Amino acid sequence: MSTDRTRPAGRRDQGGPRSVPPQRSRRQQPHRPPRPHQWFAERLLAVLSGQRPVHWMLGHTIGEAYDQLAELAPSTPLGSPRGSRPVLRHCRGAQPATGVVEAFASIAAGDRVRAMAFRLEQGPDQRWRCAAVELGGERLTAGAPGPR
């Protein structure tokens, strides 16, 4: 048995722990959480392409936005006819007023590119919620099919 209390039992080498500085790439950036409009763009894409159920957006919508998504989701307006999975290409947002973000995103699915715009509003609890969604310049309303 060793009398050195810092060395694990059974270790026979004479070297102690060596401090090796962590290697960091010059291009490595600290991890930043996604901005609210980027997070919502991914969620809206998942619902409107049929990858996630519409109830996934419960608590993340206000007003009639959830009802509109519930009617639109079954038609999967952002789904791809050839089965390729749609991806978020770009997403940008602007803050026209305090507690409001208006964002737009481009969605690619196979050889198709679609535009999506949405509005987020921050509630008194500081949580962001989706208030409106538009695709391809046409407002998505309940009962009206999205563009194909």
- Looking up tokens 């309940």 gives 142
Measure Cα distances from 47 to 50, 72, 119 in Å. Answer: 5, 9, 16
107 SS3 class: strand
pLDDT digits (tens, 9 = 90+) for 92-144: 999 999 999 999 999 998 888 889 999 999 999 999 999 988 887 444 455 55
70 SS3 class: helix
Nearest Cα to Cα of residue 57 among 35, 78, 72, 79: 72
Q: Are strands 112-122 and 128-135 parallel, antiparallel or unpaired?
A: antiparallel
pLDDT digits (tens, 9 = 90+) for 35-89: 999 999 999 999 999 999 999 999 999 988 898 788 778 888 887 767 788 999 9
Q: Are strands 128-135 and 100-109 parallel, antiparallel or unpaired?
A: unpaired
pTM over cut 0.85:
no
The whole-number pLDDT of residue 7 equals 65
